[in-house]
């Protein structure tokens, strides 16, 4: 590599290995990167993900990675892919997606100049702390990647950023999509500066854990903030968690106000539904929800009902993790495109340029 080329690409030419679970978004990112760099060839490297009939898997890299700056991108939350195991169609779950990342690293076989991993939805991010005899899945996974020679982990709106303490000597960057979500929300709902100045909106945190996120939204939009406190029954475990007994609201009166509930993700959506019902009982006006990841683990039917009955006016999320087309086409669901932000990060990382401005959660907010 020439000296000028080394200065531009200190870790070599970029090579992106996109797992099958994120192919669509990765292609959009690749096209943006090619345009930014004036490149004529794709940065995407071809791989083959295979499954044997007993469920075992393997990954083959179909072109050279020697001396390349490799970025592996994977959506471990994608539940839309299946494989055949013992004659049965089986959904590929997060554990298997994570195992495939490790297979790629193994297939690279130390030939790459550098390996970074981008998991928009961080694997096992909700299992970030231990209660009693629980496993620490996220910490163990991060340490495993570190031991395999991964140089950096890049993720979006992680459930608890403190999980990076498991790998204190390794690069861990938590990227917030706040600006993109806020801009799209304001544009879609045609909310102007004059309307925001009237303080007719309240930002709601669905629990104490999401309070920091709600404070950011509150500061950006210059609106008041409210909090719901979850009372749980710690004597029982249902579906792996302690059931919620009650959502108790703490904050200013919501009557006649628009509401924006903010969190990192919607899983089953039970908490959002309970909160929306309580807010409507208190005569809240319109109710919106903004999250980075919309999983809908129990399907969209409850949200259809809530929308049709006027409890929820819209759900804003990103395309950082898999959402079925059947949900994308819902009138109440709005997907915020993250391909531009992802391409900017990858562009900076490959060139070893500062990403501080991209990590600023308030950058590029366009209050109409």
Q: Which two tokens stand for residue 228?
A: 């719901």
Model confidence, pTM: 0.91
303 lies in the same domain as 352: no
188 and 302 together in one domain: yes
Q: What pLDDT does residue 366 have?
A: 58
Q: How many CA atoms lie within 13 A of 149 on its CB side?
A: 16
> Residues in the chain with pLDDT < 70?
1-8, 232-235, 240-241, 244, 361-368
Which H helix or E strand runs over 37? helix 23-37
Q: What is the pLDDT of residue 9?
A: 76
Q: How far apart are CA 313 and CA 331, in angstroms?
A: 9
Sorted by sequence, the CB contacts under 8 Å of residue 298 that are 6+ apart come out as 268, 269, 270
Contact, 272 vs 266, CB < 8 A? yes
Residue 364 in domain: no
Residue 365 resides in a domain: no
366 in any annotated domain: no
Q: What is the pLDDT of residues 209-223, one digit of tens each?
A: 888 889 989 988 999
In a domain, 262, yes or no: yes
Are residues 18 and 71 located together in one domain of the fold?
yes
Long-range contacts of 57-63 (CB under 8 A, 24+ apart): 57/83, 57/96, 57/99, 57/100, 57/103, 58/103, 59/100, 59/103, 59/104, 59/106, 59/107, 60/107, 61/17, 61/104, 61/107, 61/108
Residues 351, 321 within the same domain: no
What lies within 8 Å, CB to CB, of 204 at 6+ separation is: 214, 225, 226, 227, 228, 251, 259, 260, 261, 262, 275, 279
Are residue 184 and residue 228 in the same domain, yes or no? Answer: yes
Q: What are the angstrom distances between the C-alpha of 80 and each of 18, 90, 98? A: 16, 10, 15
Residues 332 and 346 in one domain: no
Are 100 and 213 found together in one domain? Answer: no
Distance set, CA 178 to CA 23, 76, 214, 316 (Å): 24, 21, 10, 11
Domain shared by 237 and 155, yes or no? no
Asked whether residue 287 is domain-assigned, the answer is yes
Q: Tokens 């900017």 — which residue?
A: 344
Q: What is the pLDDT of residue 138?
A: 96
pLDDT at residue number 368: 46
Judge whether 47 and 92 are in contact, CB under 8 Å: no
CATH code for the domain of 27: 3.40.50.2020
SS3 233: coil
Does residue 299 contact residue 279 with C-beta atoms inside 8 Å? no
Asked if 38 and 12 sit in the same domain, the reply is: yes
Total tally of structural domains belonging to the chain: 2
- Could you tell me the residue range of the domain that residue 32 belongs to? 3-176+339-359
pLDDT of residue 74: 99
Give the angle 338-340-344 at the CA atoms, nearest 5°.
120
Instruction: Quote the DSSP letter at residue 41.
Output: S
Structural contact between residues 156 and 177, judged by C-beta atoms closer than 8 angstroms:
yes
């Amino acid at each position: 590599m020439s000296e000028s080329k080394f200065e531009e690409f200190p870790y070599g030419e970029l090579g992106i290995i996109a797992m099958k679970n994120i192919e669509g978004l990765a292609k959009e990112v690749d096209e943006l990167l090619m345009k930014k760099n004036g490149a004529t060839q794709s940065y995407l490297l071809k791989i083959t993900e295979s499954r044997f009939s007993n469920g075992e898997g393997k990954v083959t890299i179909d072109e050279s990675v020697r001396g390349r700056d490799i970025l592996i991108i994977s959506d471990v939350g994608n539940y839309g892919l299946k494989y055949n195991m013992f004659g049965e169609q089986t959904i590929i779950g997060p554990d298997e997606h994570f195992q495939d990342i490790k297979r790629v690293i193994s297939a690279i076989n130390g030939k790459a100049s550098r390996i970074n991993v981008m998991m928009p939805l961080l694997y096992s991010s909700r299992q970030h702390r231990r209660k009693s005899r629980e496993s620490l899945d996220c910490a163990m996974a991060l340490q495993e990647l570190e031991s395999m020679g991964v140089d950096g982990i890049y993720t979006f709106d992680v459930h608890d950023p403190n999980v990076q303490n498991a790998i204190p000597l390794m690069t861990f960057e938590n990227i917030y999509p706040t600006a993109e979500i806020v801009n799209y929300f304001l544009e879609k709902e045609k909310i102007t500066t004059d309307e925001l100045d009237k303080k007719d909106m309240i930002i709601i945190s669905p629990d104490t854990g999401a309070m920091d996120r709600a404070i950011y939204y509150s500061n950006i939009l210059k609106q008041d903030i409210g909090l719901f406190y979850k009372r749980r029954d710690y004597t029982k475990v249902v579906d792996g968690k302690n059931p919620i007994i009650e959502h108790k609201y703490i904050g200013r009166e919501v009557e006649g106000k628009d509401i924006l509930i903010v969190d990192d993700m919607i899983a089953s959506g039970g908490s959002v539904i309970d909160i929306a019902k309580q807010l409507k009982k208190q005569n809240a006006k319109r109710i919106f929800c903004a999250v980075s990841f919309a999983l809908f683990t129990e399907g969209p039917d409850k949200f259809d009902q809530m929308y049709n009955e006027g409890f929820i006016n819209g759900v804003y999320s990103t395309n950082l993790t898999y959402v079925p087309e059947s949900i994308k086409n819902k009138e109440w669901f709005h997907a915020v495109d993250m391909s531009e932000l992802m391409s900017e990060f990858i562009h900076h990382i490959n060139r070893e340029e500062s990403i501080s401005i991209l990590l600023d959660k308030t950058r590029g907010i366009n209050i109409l």
